[in-house]
A and B are shown apart, each in its own frame.
Chain A
Amino acid sequence: MRVTAEAKESTRRKILDAAQGLFQTTGFEATTTRDIAKAAGIATGTLFNYFPTKEAIVTTLVVDSHARPTRRLANEQHESLEEALFAHAAAGLRLLKPYRKYLTPVLDTAMSPMVEAQRDDVGQSLRTDHLERVVELARQQGLDAALTPVALQMYWTLYLGVLSFWTNDKSPKQEDTLALLDQSLAMFVSWLRGGEEKSN
Chain B
Amino acid sequence: MDGYAAPEFTNIEAYLDSQLEKSLLRFITCGSVDDGKSTLIGRLLYESKMIFDDQLASLKNESKKFGTQGEEIDFALLVDGLAAEREQGITIDVAYRFFSTDRRKFIVADTPGHEQYTRNMATGASTADLAIVMIDARKGVLTQTRRHSFIVSLLGIKHVVLCINKMDLVGYDPDVFEEIEADYREFTSDFGFESIQAIPVSALAGDNVVTNSEQTAWYDGPPLMEYLDTVEIASDIQDKPFRMPVQWVNRPNLDFRGFAGQVISGTVKPGEKVRALPSGRSSTVSRIVTMGGDLDEAVEGQSVTLTLADEIDISRGDVICADQSPAEVSDQFQSTMLWMSDSAMLPGRSYMMKIGASDVQMQVTEQKYRIDVNTRAHEAAKTLGLNEIGVVNIALDREITFDPYNENRRMGGFIVIDRMTNETVGLGLINFALRRASNIHRQAMDVSRELRASMKGQKPVMLWFTGLSGAGKSTVANIVEKRLAALGKHTYALDGDNVRHGLNNDLGFTDADRVENIRRVGEVAKLMIDAGLIVLVSFISPFRAERRIVRQMVQEGEFIEVHVDVSLEEAEKRDVKGLYKKARAGEIKNFTGIDSPYEPPTDPELRLDTTQLSAEDAAEQVIAHLQNAGLLTG
A is bound by B? no
Chain B residues with a Cβ under 8 A of chain A: none
